[in-house]
Structure 1
């Protein structure tokens, strides 16, 4: 426990039931006819009056406050999901005159010092917050009675702020249509659970609220509030940047001057062995997760199985019977802070799942793990599998339909394990896919290939069980080392993991289009990005050549064929990113200075080899050529406009041909997919610098010369490519728009921008000298004029953004 909290502040309990008498007339006159529940805070409830009175003993004693949403909005785009937990707040009651104030401490800034004046100096320097104030109804000794209803019936979860942030309009709580749900109140020795119905009134103009709400002007949400006894006796573990864990950060102004002011604790559950000196031991209190009873079969079984994968990791870390996953007991409130939950949550559209660890902000101890799994994702997995297997039509195949469902359930097992992993304190790691099933904390792409019959194989699309990286992280977060120095033991764990080839690349270094680390990849698979790219391109071509009515279940309207084309046509999207990551790529490790000094990590960033960068460039350029972008005749022949009563959604390609399928929009989306990675400013800046240091490396001028030669300057595609010239021109324009956007966005260094401007100037001159014929001539002339006009006066030219790309993630 940080020393900045006094013994009085960290004393266990903020009002144990029975510690103070509340039976006098003062309390009795206000609580007459109400139902009393003893617990952390004694409460009196009245369903008739829709209010809750609360007894507050021992002022100035801190406790934790957490909000959650028993009833959500149902919109993935807004993000107010059923079961969503908020952040924990360290709060306490103060008395000022005849009122009690609920005050939130500013736990981000502390002084971990024995000097009370030093602690006070930090507390006084940074603003806390007053969350609520209410009149004292009665006083008995050191215990105060207040009506807590007004706190519960205001927006404590930030619903209105979320609606504003997602551009759904301004909403306010309508007090007349909101009520405290006294019948939902529950009380226990260590936590008090309260709930209210909130009605948010607004204009109702936001597209996302209109999509999901019964009345977008009147949004009904339930807000749950948990008041929690302050945990005590927990020993935090320092966070290490190479651990793969999540951290809880504070600024400690009492650190020695040479030390960092930023103090980070590892986020983790409390897990104590019954025998602290044993290498393997049972635990005082196991970590138990409870699955939402609303999850149907076969989803329920898959989620239970996947979440249970972590059992083996805890066993390897020396904990026996320390981790379990069970179905939530009937009648138990999943919002109760005592239960770690896995919620099966419905939304109008597919979207991200997530794992939220509710923590003690002082130490990083996990109070509750709250997993949210979006129910629509499994349907997208089945859609992808059916689009690849084509199990319907005249030759309907029960075996293939079952294979599609089994692939989706395998993905659900992995997803369940992944999100639970976050609530155990584990971060994403996007490098383990280099080692097959290296970690459930990576984002897995289905492992696809063609079998000996030339058919798409899905049998082993997803791995089973946690991987070696997961075993390492659980050890680093939770293992104990009797008789050893903990810091040394953890350093040895990291060295062993590195010796096994385990690598860690975090979210921060993986998600950006211009990310540098070649192994920090989302949704990739395989040890060699270019080999896997070729493998997926083979699967993609096979699926396109066999795309037919057989990909669509018989009860679906034929217009949905287009939605099933999207994941097939863009099947290579993530491996394209993986290949692009090699261009201007550089490897590096996470660690501390002492790790580098001891030789445990290698400091610096090592560029990808010149040969590999050039090979990668050719792969990306090939993805911009008509041979890879053109759709085959069998696809174009069957694509049908949506039927009456159905509409295209963002899951479809955008179109400029009214209801008829727009093949050019598909081509443009494919070209934009490659262009957004290749022409990222940070990547181009790195290329220029790498080439400046080593002239053998791929440089900016060489990159643009190769791109333009094989797009705008290439010979006409062969007659075997359907509408080859038109397809190539569509891709060429996307390339040019991307390059001009690169120049225009202001993120290039001036000398790098000069090189890019020179490259497009030379392209313009070439286009003028080589006008071509027909539609090629028109495009070349217009492209040259656009380039020169923009270079002369950028403000006079309105540049086009890249074409929209239908969403791929999450899968």
Structure 2
């Protein structure tokens, strides 16, 4: 990544009309001199591009310079589109913009062999341009239509998210020259596009002044490709990097045809033989200069943690983080950027990049940080603190400090993605070994107070040093690079560092014992017990003094939501131990554990712990807190992050418990987990098995009685959720048939149990439901519980 041009950017940005004119047509046009020269005719509002080199590859990137502001729709300010290697090819009286197929190639000196692969797979012609003028081998084309199109797919995104049918209205669209610039190695075009249509979704209505007309700005970049001196580095599934891959048909038959390499920035020591050396070209990132304090300082501090990892492999000041100059455009390819992005709801932050599709070299890192995330972290701290506003309303500093600690970690995390690194969701089980995990606040009890001092980590992790070493180590002359990289991974293994990424960490049906989202602790069961105790203390302490003076109680209810569901992610982690596995991304000869089931004792402990979350005395909102939550005040309507219920305007305590129980049961009795339990029991009779899981679940729900009438009703609500999930397993068509059989047996046993315990209205109704189900299981449909409020950032696109 080249960053040394920005100080002279304005010098190269030319909108001069002086100098020799190449084309007769352009003599009265405004000229921009750069990587491609282009001209603007203000009388026709057209842009003309000068093409000097045919069939010379360059990089084309489209992006959004201003977005829509809805995380659900997913069209953010600064969002990058796909990078594409392209070239111009003459065909008669036109130039074609061609995208070659780089997924399939032949890396050989044999020109005919290369051509045979090129001709075997389709290319894509992105656009055809009529040649307006030809002057000594230079061609002038009208570039306007190419720029004034929906390259980013805004209309398709609005349609696919069910927000309405929209089309581009060119009469309300225009070129935007304040962000259209020319530089020696890149040219940047910006356009204002208006889409007209018929809005059908609430999301688009909520973020536009007139949802019939949606105006955004799209950006187009034409970029010189890097030189050929970049050295690809072989990918290893244990290394923590994202793989870049293509098929090389020139590969000898005995070797794999699919080639995999790590994605990384170019980084070289000035002296590769020195123990410590400056970089020839350091990796420099720039923070959005529109970021406010104290967030700005927190992001700078957290992002700079990465220099610790580069120092550990012998680089001095190889990673730097600065403030973006006021004159710089965040979408300019010359700048690695961290953008502070505003949306109407809190949402995911993500780290993306522009890479060279030929090699996987990262040319530009681009981080998007959602500005509302910090407010959610603040509110979590507000809920957990013991009456923070009892004495004064300006006692916000402790909550702000926890939120800023999270922002520091988030900055490092998302920058890590743009350095080429994937998530490591096993790091939280090993002394927080990586910023590439999703951290849950790590708290401890001090009497009846909660200690926030160690909520989030304060530096780079040991695993992060491994990933940096593997991807960025500049080995001395004569070193065996492959053996050295294997040695890096062997040291990580010897040090007990574990790496588990996205596909093995997701909770629904997930099985890995260590790879979890938003968890803490080496043992998930122990941490769930700890979290439940923290939750109890915080709920006991919770009062009107968790909000400021003169704020309505409706705000208090919103603060209470993340506290009530504080156990949700550790519950997810614990559920994965049941029917769970311990495995690694092992390769032949590395000596790692390949795969084995979690021990029976660990699974049984996990089951015992998770079933606590189905006990009314553990999960019910304390009765003395219910008087804090009146019907919502005018102007403070409920949102997707509020409790859902069945009682109209009044606060529904039973539905809160029902929602929490349904969360647990959806994890514990997931169909894939049930099928794994069948298989594990068949191979080891001492294992937990599905039958025991169902028996224990029924015992810890239907087998529990409470004298308190409120707790009894809460338990009854929980029991109905157990019933529905049993029926779901009994009727499910994507499980082993043995799962159906065991679940049906459990339902029949439950019926017998209920009949023997008397004829309460609930027992009679439960028996009726079981009988109706057994008559025709195929008619069964799960009765939905009230939806759990959003806990993770809203939306599902990336990635933090």
TM-score w.r.t. length of structure 1: 0.93
Q: Deviations over 1:567-610 (max 9, x none)?
A: 11111111111211111111111133xxx2x244233x111110
Aligned pair partner of 2:155 in 136, 157, 160:
160
Judging changes above 3 Å, is the alpha-carbon distance between structure 1 residues 407 and 110 closer, same or farther for their aligned structure 2 residues?
Answer: same
Q: Report the equivalent of 1:290.
A: 286
**Structure 1 residue 784 and structure 2 residue 780: aligned?**
no
Residue 651 of structure 1 is aligned with which of 635, 641, 662? 641
Task: Name which of 779, 787, 793 aligns with 1:804.
Answer: 787
- Displacement of 1:457 in angstroms is 1.2
Task: Give the superposition deviation at 1:183.
Answer: 4.2
| CA gap 1:512/1:170 in 2 versus in 1, 3 angstroms | farther
Q: 358, 361, 379: which one pairs with 1:362?
A: 358
CA distances 1:256-302 after superposition (whole Å, capped 9, x unpaired): 33433322121100112222333322112111110001110101111
Q: Secondary structure at the match of 2:340?
A: strand
1:679 aligned onto 2:669? yes
User: CA shift at 1:46, angstroms?
Assistant: 4.0
- Match of 1:336, SS state, is coil
Q: List gaps (5 residues or longer) in structure 1.
A: 1-15
**Distance in 1 separating the partners of 2:567 and 2:736:** 31
For 1:1-400, list aligned pairs within 5 A: 27-47=22-42, 49-232=44-227, 233-396=229-392
| Runs (4+) off by over 6 Å | 22-25
CA offsets 1:465-516 (integer angstroms, 9 cap, x no match): 1110111110011002222211110111111111111000000100141111
Change (3 A) 1:17 1:779: closer
How is 1:511-530 mapped onto 2 (pairs within 5 angstroms)? Answer: 511-530=506-525
SS where residue 247 of structure 2 aligns? strand
Partner Cα distance (2:650, 2:306) in 1: 49
> 1:390 deviation in Å?
4.2
CA contact (8 A) 1:105 1:128 kept: yes
CA distance in 1, matches of 2:410, 2:633: 34
Would the aligned equivalents of 2:174 and 2:192 in 1 still touch at CA under 8 Å?
A: yes
Deviations 1:26-52 (A, max 9, x none): x53321322212211111124554332
Return the offset for 1:646: 2.2
Q: Does 1:748 align with 2:735?
A: yes
3-state SS of paired residue (1:203): strand
Structure 1 pair 512–584 and aligned structure 2 pair: CA distance change class (3 A):
same
Deviates more, 1:510-519 or 1:416-425: 510-519
Picking from 612, 623, 628, the partner of 1:633 is: 623
The residue number in structure 2 matching 1:546 is: 541
Q: For 1:263 and 1:710, how far apart are their aligned partners in 2? A: 52
Does the aligned pair in 2 maintain the 1:205–1:216 contact within 8 Å? Answer: no
Distance in structure 2 (CA, Å) of the matches to 1:270 and 1:255? 26
Please say if residues 83 and 335 of structure 1, whose CA atoms lie closer than 8 Å, have aligned partners that are also in contact: yes
Aligned equivalents of 1:367, 1:253: Cα separation in 2: 26
Question: Once the two structures are superposed, what CA deviation does each residue of 1:174-225 show, in whole Å capped at 9, x if it has no partner?
Answer: 1111112234321111111111111112211122111111111111111111
Q: 8 Å contact 2:179–2:329 — kept in the other structure?
A: no
Structure 2 unaligned regions, length at least 5: 1-11, 794-799
The equivalent of 1:8 in structure 2 is: none
Query: What residue is the counterpart of 2:705 in the other structure?
Result: 716
For residues 136 and 708 of structure 1, do their structure 2 counterparts lie closer, same or farther at Cα, with a shift above 3 Å needed?
A: same
Partner SS state of residue 155, structure 1: coil
Does the 8 Å CA contact 1:52/1:182 hold for their aligned counterparts?
no
- The alignment of Structure 1 onto Structure 2 pairs a total of residues equal to 778
- Which moves more between the two structures, 257-266 or 341-350? 257-266
- Distance of 1:123 and 1:591 partners within structure 2: 35
C-alpha distance in 2, partners of 1:616/1:543? Answer: 24
Correspondences of 1:578-727 after superposition (within 5 Å): 578-592=573-587, 596=588, 598-603=589-594, 605-712=595-702, 714-719=703-708, 723-727=710-714
Query: Structure 1: how far apart are the matches of 2:256 and 2:692?
Result: 44
| Preserved CA contact (<8 Å) 2:98 2:126 | yes
String of CA shifts for 1:532-577, please: whole Å, max 9, x gaps: 2122111111111121111112353221222111111111111111
Are the aligned partners of 1:153 and 1:198 in contact in 2 as well (CA < 8 Å)?
Answer: yes
Give the distance between the partners of 1:85 and 1:599, measured in 2 at CA: 38
Distance 1:118 1:732 in 2: 68
Instruction: Output the CA distance in 1 between the equivalents of 2:307 and 2:174.
Output: 42
Q: What is the distance in 2 between the residues matched to 1:555 and 1:231?
A: 59
Distance 1:542 1:380 in 2: 21
State the partner residue of 2:746.
759
- Are 2:70 and 2:204, in contact at CA under 8 Å, matched by a contact in 1? yes
Query: Aligned in 2, Cα 1:750/1:254: closer, same or farther, shift over 3 Å?
Result: farther
- Secondary structure, counterpart of 1:623 in structure 2: helix
CA distance 1:234–1:756, change in 2 (3 Å): same
**Does the 8 A contact of 2:63 with 2:220 survive in 1?**
yes
Given the alignment of the two structures, is residue 457 of structure 1 paired with residue 457 of structure 2, yes or no?
no
Q: Distance in 2 between matches of 1:243 and 1:796?
A: 49
* Structure 1 residues 300-345: Cα deviation after superposition (integer angstroms, max 9, x where no partner): 1111111111011111112112110000011111110110000000
Distance in 2, Cα, partners of 1:393 & 1:87: 48
Distance, in Å, in 2 between the alignment partners of 1:658 and 1:572 is 26
Task: Give the whole-Å Cα distance in 2 for the aligned partners of 1:396 and 1:788.
Answer: 59
Q: Distance in 2 between matches of 1:110 and 1:162?
A: 32
Q: CA deviation at 1:246?
A: 0.9
1:670-706 Cα deviation digits (max 9, x unpaired): 1012111101111111111111000000011111111
- Greater shift after overlay, 667-676 or 385-394? 385-394
Equivalent in the alignment of 1:13:
none
| Distance of 1:613 and 1:394 partners within structure 2 | 43
More off after superposition, 779-788 vs 656-665: 779-788
- Please give the alpha-carbon distance, in whole angstroms, between the structure 2 residues aligned to 1:117 and 1:739: 63
Tell me how far apart the structure 1 counterparts of residues 742 and 757 of structure 2 sit (CA, whole Å). Answer: 23
Note the alpha carbon deviations across 1:82-139, whole angstroms, 9 max, x for none: 1111121111111111111111222222233333333333323332222111211111
1:11 maps to none
- Secondary structure, counterpart of 2:23 in structure 1: helix
Cα distance between partner residues in 1 of 2:97 and 2:13:
20
1:148-171 Cα deviation digits (max 9, x unpaired): 111111011122222223222222
Q: Is the 8 A contact 1:240 1:591 kept in 2?
A: no
Given that 1:545 and 1:634 are in contact with CA atoms closer than 8 Å, whether structure 2 keeps it comes out as no
Partner of 2:3: none
Once the 2 structures are TM-superposed, how far is the Cα of residue 619 of structure 1 from its aligned partner? 1.1
Residue 479 of structure 1, aligned match among 473, 476, 479: 473
- How far has the Cα of 1:753 moved from its partner? 2.2
Query: Cα RMSD (Å) of the superposition?
Result: 2.0
Q: Could you give the per-residue CA deviations for residues 390-434 of structure 1, whole angstroms, max 9, x where no partner exists? A: 4454433755x2110000001000000000000000000001111
Task: Give the 3-state SS of the residue equivalent to 2:563 in structure 1.
Answer: helix
SS at structure 2 position matched to 1:88:
strand
